[in-house]
Structure 1
């Protein structure tokens, strides 16, 4: 198991807050979190997985908020949602075949 010192955890917390702020405005917070996770020694596949899990929670919160305000037409989004799920599955499978040194 990866042991992280308190100062490294504090650094990652600051990075996560900054990435969340950027995600809320325009997206792309993973461009900050993934390199930060790799820099502190997290294995590449774990860094990507961590980024995707945190991104999923952010997207779920935004979707819930927009849905409650009546701003999402799920019927209109049916095909894009299915394409997104298919792409996510294909991407997750593809990354397991890539050499971690290359990542």
Structure 2
């Protein structure tokens, strides 16, 4: 197969491990994995599709670990899972019609807002002992934000996990670890929905995606352990780092 070469794997495998590691801690692993597939020479839509395959597997591992440690509320997040799934499917269909540069213009608006939210310590709820209030307002916030960010994930993807963490922390008032855990569940739904669309469109190199998935899963496993043990010291800096990467990537595309 044209893209399944030793040179390609040497480029991809370490980067996909690191992408999984970063994604499990603060989201945004797609900022590393998608450019890695593009650097390996895959066409843009094939790169996005193959990236969805490996990232879905990695996010699954991370999600299971957060669920096992009690940082995910499965029952509460069901409406958000549904809206995220629908949003991602819509976004995946739209990505066949739009270019990367058109999305970049939108991100130029989003980035300063996201940067302000991340850098403002008062907005992050780091109190792990505080009880999270699950009410109608929280249902609406998580469902709506999951739909909107799900559309973005299906359309393009990088930074999705970070934006979900920000939305759940700032607007749904979850502490940063629960926001991370619940965001993994939503990100898994958006990845799976987008994966179905790209599979049906024939835009995935399955063997390459499976190999990449193994390394991404390993990175997610290692990273999720650190996120749960020392979240306050690790997660905010990683989120900031991810947003800086995203800014550089977008500016470089103009």
The TM-score by the shorter chain falls in which range?
Answer: 0.7 to 0.9
* Counterpart contact for 1:34–1:48, Cα < 8 Å: yes
User: TM-score, normalization: structure 2?
Assistant: 0.37
CA drift of 1:4 comes to 4.4
**For the structure 1 residues 95 and 68, does the alpha-carbon distance in structure 2 shift closer, same or farther, using more than 3 Å as the test?**
same
Q: Is the 8 A contact 1:8 1:40 kept in 2?
A: yes
Answer yes or no: is the 8 Å Cα contact 1:19–1:33 preserved in 2: yes
- Bigger relative contact order (CA 8 A; separation at least 6): 2
Matched-pair contact (CA < 8 Å) for 1:2–1:42 = no
1:28 equivalent in structure 2? 28
* TM-score where L is the length of structure 1: 0.82
Distance 1:12 1:67, change over 3 A: same
Distance 1:101 1:46, change over 3 A: farther
Q: Distance in 2 between matches of 1:95 and 1:65?
A: 31
The higher radius of gyration belongs to 2
Where has structure 1 moved over 6 Å in runs of 4 or more? 100-103
SS of match in other structure, 1:75: coil
Q: Residue 69 of structure 1: CA displacement?
A: 3.4
Q: Which shows bigger deviation, 63-72 or 30-39?
A: 63-72
The size of the alignment, in residue pairs, is 103
Structure 1 residue 80 and structure 2 residue 53: aligned?
A: no
User: Is the contact between residue 45 and residue 100 of structure 1 (CA under 8 Å) also seen in structure 2?
Assistant: no
Aligned to 2:111: none
Which residue is 1:98 aligned to? 98
Please give the alpha-carbon distance, in whole angstroms, between the structure 1 residues aligned to 2:3 and 2:49. 18
User: CA separation in 2, counterparts of 1:14 and 1:91?
Assistant: 29
Q: What's the RMSD between the two structures over aligned residues?
A: 2.4
Following the alignment from structure 1 to structure 2, what is the Cα–Cα distance between the partners of residues 8 and 88?
Answer: 28
C-alpha separation between the residues in 2 aligned to 1:101 and 1:4?
28
Gaps of at least 5 residues in structure 2 are 104-254
8 Å CA contact 2:24–2:59 kept in 1: the answer is: no
Higher helix fraction: Structure 1 or Structure 2? 2
* Structure 1: runs of 5 or more not aligned: none
CA-to-partner distance for each residue in 1:9-36, whole Å, 9 max, x for gaps? 1111111111111112111111111112
Question: How far, CA to CA, are the matches of 1:26 and 1:71 in structure 2?
Answer: 15
Work out the CA distance in 2 between the residues paired with 1:44 and 1:63.
Answer: 27
Partner in structure 2 of residue 61 of structure 1:
61
